[in-house]
Amino acid sequence: MSENNNRVKNTNDSELQDRLVAINRVTKVTKGGRAFTFAAIVVVGNGNGVVGWGLGKAGEVTAAIAKGVEAAKKNLIRVPVLKGTVPHEQVARFGGAEVILLPASQGTGVKAGGAMRAVLESVGITDVLAKSKGSSNPHNLVKATFAALGEMRDAYTVAQNRGISIDKVFNG
């Protein structure tokens, strides 16, 4: 299932909470000296299965964050969340980053690092085991996490796509 099928068309902007994942100061050396700009990766989510990410670049930190939030609102996807966790295990790669998401029992909490934690908490997942391998670059980690979440499907969707009952999905 491609990420396009999970796209969210309209969501009330007042419900969306934004989280800053990373900020990067970029220096351009010119004849007149150094020019500083900032790049901010931002994740927005409603805590109920809708999440998006965006990258904002500007001369000031606040402007970069604001641009990142606007970009994130245009890039929303819907993720199935079952009892506060992911419906099944999922592995995804983007660039040098590889992420592994595993369902966890209630009370486990979000066992994930930095960039992955921001994405998973924004989507409304409360219990998950996650591991990142390879690159720790926040850009690629966020994109790999979104790739994994975009491929998540719940049992109801699988049953509907196959034209069978939910009971048959689990019991064959």
pLDDT over 50 at 89, yes or no: yes
Q: Which residues contact 129 (CB under 8 A, 6 or more apart)?
A: 101, 102, 103, 104, 108, 111, 112
pLDDT over 70 at 1, yes or no: no
pLDDT classification of 160: cutoffs 50, 70, 90: confident
The whole-angstrom separation of Cα 120 and Cα 110 is: 8
Q: In what order do the strands lie in the sheet with 50-58?
A: 17-30, 33-45, 50-58, 76-78
Give whole-number Cα distances, 153 to 57, 78, 82, 125, 161, in Å: 33, 10, 10, 15, 11
**Structure-model confidence comparison of residues 58 and 162, the more confident one:** 58
pLDDT over 50 at 116, yes or no: yes
pLDDT at 165: 77
Enter the tokens of residue 150: 């975009």
pLDDT at 155: 72
pLDDT over 80 at 95, yes or no: yes
Q: For all residues of the chain together, what is the average pLDDT?
A: 89
The model's pLDDT over 55-72, given as tens digits with 9 standing for 90+, comes to: 999 999 999 999 999 999
List the one residue out of 101, 110, 109 whose CA is nearest residue 150: 101
pLDDT over 60 at 2, yes or no: no
pLDDT at 69: 95
pLDDT over 90 at 164, yes or no: no
pLDDT over 60 at 109, yes or no: yes
Instruction: Work out the angle at residue 20's Cα, subtended by the Cα atoms of residues 30 and 92, and round it to the nearest 5 degrees.
Output: 100
pLDDT at 169: 72
pLDDT at 97: 94
Query: Is the entire prediction scored with pTM above 0.85?
Result: yes
